[in-house]
Structures are given as structure tokens and as C-alpha cells.
Amino acid sequence: MNPFLTDLTEALGEIVSLNEAVRDHHGHDMSRLPAHRPEAVVFPTEEADVVTTVKLCAKHGVPVVAVGAGSSMEGHTIPVKGGISLDLKGMNRILAVHDADFDAVVEAGVTRKQLNEHLRDRGLMFTVDPGADASLGGMASTRASGTTAVRYGTMRETVIALRVVTASGEVVETGRRVKKSSTGYDLTKLFVGAEGTLGIITQVTVRLHPIPEVTASAICAFETMEGAVQTVVETMQSALPVARIEFLDEVAVKAANAHAGLGLKVAPTLFLEFHGSERWVAEQSEAVKALALDNGGSDFAWSTRPEDRARLWKARHETIYSNQSLRPGCKTYTTDVCVPVSRLAEAVLEARREADTAPFPVKIIGHVGDGNFHVGYLIMPGDEGEYAIADRLAERLYQRTMDMGGTFSGEHGVGVSKLKYLRREHGGGVDLMKAIKAALDPQGIMNPGKLGQEG
């Protein structure tokens, strides 16, 4: 055993695993990227375990990569330079809920479903919903969002403060539990979205919201994709505060039907949700329905029972698994672009036009209320020809998006797979990112090969 692993196991004992199966499990995520096995996996249960691990990694110059629920889509948690995987799932305590202040303090391994289950009897909810039961530390690290971001915002707006273990093993607090502060640099926002390249998040303070009096979900099919997307644009321009407004093209609807047994009409479709008082929900829904009818939409099909709503949104969230019903054995080459809402219709229609040239199924879904949509190329693993076509289509998609003033990643982050596009979007800003990385992590041990080191 090398000196580092000897020091690590002596310091931390049973929470260190050298087991090959455990290491293999931590060598990949949900992306299409190749796996890399870490030298060891550490399962901390206290912040002190994280501090000890990072200090030993700093002493020996060994990389350390934080892992939450493992639901990353872009290779964030793959230890591409080897080293240690730091699995934070055991740090899953809800430390405090301040009902009157609408905030909660949790350890990094707490998942969104765990927190919401804890909050239910208090009449409160945590609103960021990426679909997967992701950990809040991971969601903060990737600046995650999801279906409810159009109404409640992303992790950028939701995280109030953090506790972070820096590359030297020191613990810092980045903010206070207040609605505003004008003191010092905004360190919270620096670590939110840094993808574990500047420090390890151990604790997250998040905003909460009251559970609405009424929640109503609806489905609306459209004659054309253009009509569906135009309805979204007009809804946003009318300042109607929908809680969710999700788009599925015909391919995605067909997959959802097969996977979840929904029985929907195979057509471009919007999934919608409205929150508020009974009167307010009725007014919102009538206004959106009028826009939909003008754009070739059908009447709303309502899901009024909680179990029906849960089934509907479960089908939307599991769309990546439904791909197997379209092409068994496939792997999804996923994209995650976001454009100004005024360019949404143009962007989605052009993406569909190009997708129709592909020799494999392609589906488009999106949190379109904020201009974010995903084009998924359903390719077969190991087929280099299909991979090359998907790569070419994605390249065109990313460039069009940036030409429209958009971004190549609205919510999944950069990770490994999108690092090559970072300079194209941010230009000289990448050099500033590198300078920050070098200042906070001079040895380059925090999730190396990711943000702040290439691009």
C-alpha cells in the first residue's frame, strides 16, 4: 500500500474503502463518458472526516472528488485524474428548519425528497426539482434547476449560505441566514456552480416556500411544435406565474406513453402546473388555456388528484429511462441548452429540423418557460459512426445557441463533456476562472481536469 493510502486508512479507519467494486461504482455517473476508477472511496459521516481527508490529499498532492447522489449528466464526479472519491451520502442530517424565516440548514448529503418529506407537516417546501433525487450539496455544486425554476428560481437563487472545506482543509462559512447583505465578496455564489473545483461543500442553507393552497396540473396537446412553443413564449411575455411549463415533442410523448402507460395523444405537448389560491389558479389556467387554443392547442386535460399529478411528473422526470422503450440498449447523448425566451421557438424548431436528419431517434424536451431545453440523441454504445453524428449535431446546436445569446448548459453544468465549449462562451473570462482556481487550489487537487484548469 502506498504511503498516502496508509495514512488515509490509519486516520479514518472503516470509512475508507479500497474494494474494487466500490471503486468501480464511483468511477462513473449517468453520463455517456468512460469510467475512471479512484484509488479509494471515503464515506465521511462528519465534517471532520472531510477535513482530515482533504488535509491528507493536500499533504500528498492527491486529487479529491466529491460525490453526492451520482446523478450527474456531464461527468462532474468522474475522477479523471484518479485520487479519492469522497462520498457524502452519509452526511445526511437536517440540522435546522426555521419556519418563520423560511430557510433550512442541511448537510450536503441530504436529498431534495428527504428534505421535502421532513418539511411536509410544516407547510413548507424546497422547490428546486431536477427530477433525480439529487443531494443538495451536488445541486449547489452544479447550480442545478429543473421543472419549477420558472416560478421559484434555480439553486443560484435558493442557496443562502454554505460551509465549505477548502483545498487546504480549512472550513469557511460563506454567508448568513439573512435575505440580503452587502459585506465582502459573494463567496456563496462563487462556490455555487464551481462543481467541486474550489472546495467541498459540507453544509447548505436554502430558502423555503409555503406549500400552495391549491396545486393543479394540466396537459395540452398541440397541432404543431411551433404552436406549443409559441404558447410558452406568450405565457412568459404575459407575466403569468406558472409553476411549471414543460415541453415534450412527439418522440418524447411516444416514449413516455410506452414507459409510464400514460395514453397521451402523440403530438407536441405541454405539461403545466399552477400554484396559488383556488381563484388565482383558475384565473392563471384560463389565461394560459386561451393562449394555447389560439396556437392550435387542445382543451386542458386536468390531473386533479395528488396521485395523478405525481404520476404525470414522474413520467416527465423519468424521460431519460423511457428512451429504452424507443431503442432498447441505447445510451442518451444529452444536451442542455438555454436561450433567451424570445428566441425559443426558433431554437427548438431548428433543433428539430436537424434532428430529423439523424439515422437514430432524437427527442426534445425542456423546461421551456425559462428557455431551457434538451435534445437527446439515442445512440448505441460503441457505435462510433452514430457518436460522430450526434457530436456534429450537438456542435451545431451549441453554436446556434451561443449565437442567439444563449448558453451551452442551462442546468447540467460543464463537467468533462462540455469543457471544450467554455472559452467559446466566456472568452477571456476563462482566464479569470483559472486565476481563481489557482488562488484557491494551488496544487490543483480539487476535482482536477474540470473547471478552472482547461477550456
User: Is 95 strand, coil or helix?
Assistant: strand
Q: What Cα–Cα distance (Å) separates residue 332 from each residue in 131, 141, 328, 336, 450?
A: 16, 23, 11, 12, 22
E-strand ranges in 61-137 read 64-67, 84-87, 94-98, 103-107, 124-125
Confidence (pLDDT) at 97: 98
What is the percent of the chain where pLDDT is above 70? 99
Beta strand pairing call for 94-98 and 64-67: unpaired
pLDDT value for 415: 93
- Alpha-carbon Rg of the chain, whole angstroms? 22
Mean pLDDT value across residues 187-204? 97
- Position 309 scores a pLDDT of 83
What pLDDT is stored for residue 307 in this prediction?
Answer: 82
CB-based burial of residue 62 (10 Å sphere; 0-12 exposed, 13-18 middle, 19+ buried)? buried
Q: What is the pLDDT of residues 8-65, one digit of tens each?
A: 999 999 999 999 999 999 999 888 788 999 999 999 999 999 999 999 999 999 999 9
140/108 Cα distance (integer angstroms): 9
Question: Average pLDDT in the 338-364 region?
Answer: 95
Identify the pLDDT of residue 323: 85
- Is residue 135 within 8 Å of 109, Cβ to Cβ? yes
The arrangement of strands across the sheet holding 199-207 comes to 94-98, 103-107, 199-207, 159-166, 171-173
Q: Which amino acid is at 136?
A: L
pLDDT higher than 70, residue 393: yes
- Strand-strand pairing, 103-107 and 84-87: unpaired
What average pLDDT does the segment 184-200 reach? 97
Query: d(Cα 282, Cα 268) in Å, to the nearest integer?
Result: 24
Give tens-digit pLDDT for 370-382.
Answer: 999 999 999 999 8
User: Is residue 66 classed as helix, strand or coil in its secondary structure?
Assistant: strand
3-state class (DSSP) for residue 63: coil
124-125 and 209-210 as β-strands: parallel, antiparallel, unpaired? antiparallel
Mean pLDDT of 304-329: 83
Residue 455 predicted with pLDDT over 70 = no
- 187-198: average pLDDT: 97
State residue 342's pLDDT score: 92
Residues with Cβ < 8 Å from 14, sequence gap 6 or more?
none
Q: Parallel, antiparallel, or unpaired for β 171-173 and 159-166?
A: antiparallel
Distance between CA atoms of residues 355 and 335, nearest Å: 12
pTM of the full structure:
0.93
Quote the pLDDT of residue 15.
98
DSSP 278-337: HHHHHHHHHHHHHHHHHTTB---EEE-SHHHHHHHHHHHHTHHHHHHHHSTT-EEEE-BE
For residue 370, give the C-alpha cell.
Answer: 425559462
* Residue 310: per-residue pLDDT: 82
Per-residue pLDDT, averaged over 90-97, amounts to: 98
pLDDT at 410 over 80: yes
Task: Tell me the average pLDDT of the chain.
Answer: 94
Quick one: pLDDT band at residue 303, thresholds 50, 70, 90?
confident
Query: Cell match 431551457: residue?
Result: 372
Q: What angle do CA 144, 159, 81 make, to 5 degrees?
A: 50
Residue 316 has pLDDT above 90, yes or no: no
Q: What is the mean pLDDT of residues 130-142?
A: 94
Q: What is residue 47's three-state secondary structure? A: helix
Give me the mean pLDDT over the 305-319 stretch: 80
Cell of 397: 446546436
Q: Band of the pLDDT at 267, cuts 50, 70, 90?
A: very high
CA distance 199 to 53: 12
The candidate with the shortest Cα–Cα distance to 103, out of 32, 217, 203, is 203
> Predicted confidence band at 444 (pLDDT cuts at 50, 70, 90)?
very high
Band the pLDDT of 454: cuts 50, 70, 90: low
